């Protein structure tokens, strides 16, 4: 399998897939290049990669943004006719609704990605003529992935539309809203789009609902809530953007987010982007739910320089213990989103 992750997080992505695959009795070993933005997970048994893609939800993985099953290695493709080199393996591919020609992340892959974009056009046409790709793009069919490691080598395979990222290389591109006071705003915007369907967003983020934003300044996250019509208690010692205060939807509390207690306990949403030790934040989130102060939360866990995968697992386990111990039913998801850097985003929702 080939998994996409943020460049620099290959070790975490590799550790996670190896551990999670083993739970499904799929054994193998990861191969990775530092700062490449991808990991290859070599399964020992034939067909295990396909079984893993059927059984293990991509959404349950934190560090993998996208993935596909590799069906063929492409080695030393003839630069004069790369299309022919790919077509040699066409009979291995399922009938698909989409083609993605992709590569790694970061400076080393920038020019290769430009090539990928250009190469998509003739390859798509050839695959359509061969009957492997549908004439018009279809969302609910398998996708063909050609991942190039340079302009002559790569991996060919497919992903399932019911268990794969709907975005090219798992990247949700978002436009930065001019009125938002910080680029951090994109993190919460992506989180809402990733964790909630459009219907869930409409039902769970309704105008008039109350939210608390811990570590709110200058207000990028608050902006996303205000834009959706919510009333926000913004907690931070720093200053909030004037234009947000002028909406009349924001109350600024210059307080410590760890000590803040909402006056009225009718908060629907708790969001938190405080730069703090991740275990402290996880415990704080747990205590809000244990005390019944909110019913939904999106928060960041800032990652340390080392032992990042273990730290994430420990924090999520601590949070689970607090919630279980308080008899709170919950749904928990975590993801290293495209707009996250040295942090992951967690979604927590009260159940029942
Ligand atoms: C990454 S910034 C938040 C950016 C914000 N989400 C945005 O979109 O504009 C982190 C903020 O956490 C605040 N912070 C850190 N520790 C805090 C604490 N104990 N209580 C309240 N705020 C805290 C900092 O003052 C800082 O403004």
The residue nearest atom 15 of ligand 1, judged by CA position, is 274
Tell me the fold of 2-170.
Answer: THUMP fold (3.30.2300)
Q: What is the pLDDT of residue 47?
A: 94
Residues 122, 338, 241, 285, Cα dihedral to 10°: 160
154 is in an annotated binding site: no
Quote the CA–CA distance of 332 and 350 in Å, as a whole number.
9
| Ligand 1 center to 217 CA (angstroms) | 6
Ligand 1, atom nearest to 271 Cα: 6
Beta carbon of 218 within 6 Å of any ligand 1 atom: yes
Instruction: Profile the chain (352 residues) by mean pLDDT over runs of 10 residues.
Output: 97 98 98 96 96 98 98 96 97 98 92 96 98 97 98 97 97 96 98 98 98 98 98 98 98 98 94 97 98 97 93 98 97 98 97 86
Q: Tell me how crowded residue 34 is: count the other CB atoms within 10 A of its CB.
A: 8
| Ligand 1 center to 187 CA (angstroms) | 14
Q: What is the pLDDT of residue 304?
A: 86
Quote the CA–CA distance of 220 and 182 in Å, as a whole number.
5
Beta carbon of 258 within 6 Å of any ligand 1 atom: yes
Q: What is the pLDDT of residue 352?
A: 78
For the chain, the domains span 2-170, 185-351
CATH number of 185-351: 3.40.50.150
Beta carbon of 257 within 6 Å of any ligand 1 atom: yes
Residue 337 contacts by C-beta under 8 Å, 6 or more apart in sequence? Answer: 65, 172, 187, 190, 191, 194, 344, 345
């Amino acid at each position: 399998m080939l998994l996409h992750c943020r460049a620099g997080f290959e070790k975490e992505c590799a550790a996670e897939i190896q551990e999670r695959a083993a739970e499904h009795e799929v054994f193998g070993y990861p191969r990775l290049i530092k700062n490449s933005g991808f990991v290859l997970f070599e399964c020992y048994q034939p067909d295990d990669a396909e079984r893993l893609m059927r059984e293990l939800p991509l959404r349950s993985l934190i560090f993998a943004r996208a993935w596909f099953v590799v069906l063929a290695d492409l080695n030393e493709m003839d630069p004069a006719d790369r299309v022919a080199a790919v077509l040699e393996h066409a009979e291995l591919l399922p009938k698909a609704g989409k083609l993605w020609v992709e590569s790694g992340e970061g400076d080393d892959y920038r020019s290769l990605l430009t090539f990928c974009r250009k190469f998509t056009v003739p390859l798509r046409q050839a695959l359509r003529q061969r009957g492997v790709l549908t004439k018009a793009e279809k969302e609910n069919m398998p996708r063909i992935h050609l991942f190039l490691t340079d302009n002559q080598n790569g991996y060919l395979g497919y992903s399932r539309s019911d268990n794969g990222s709907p975005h090219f290389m798992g990247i949700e591109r978002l436009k930065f809203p001019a009125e938002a006071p910080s680029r951090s705003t994109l993190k919460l915007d992506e989180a809402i789009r990733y964790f909630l369907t459009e219907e869930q967003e409409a039902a769970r983020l309704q105008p008039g609902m109350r939210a608390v934003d811990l570590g709110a300044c200058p207000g990028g996250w608050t902006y996303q809530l205000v834009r959706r019509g919510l009333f926000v208690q913004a907690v931070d010692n720093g200053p909030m953007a004037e234009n947000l205060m002028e909406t009349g939807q924001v109350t600024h509390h210059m307080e410590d987010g760890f000590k803040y207690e909402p006056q009225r306990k009718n908060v629907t949403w708790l969001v938190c982007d405080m730069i703090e030790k991740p275990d402290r934040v996880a415990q704080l989130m747990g205590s809000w739910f244990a005390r019944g102060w909110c019913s939904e939360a999106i928060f960041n866990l800032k990652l340390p320089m080392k032992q990042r995968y273990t730290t994430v697992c420990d924090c999520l386990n601590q949070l689970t213990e607090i919630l279980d111990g308080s008899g709170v039913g919950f749904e928990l998801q975590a993801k290293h989103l495209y707009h996250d850097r040295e942090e992951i985003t967690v979604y927590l929702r009260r159940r029942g």
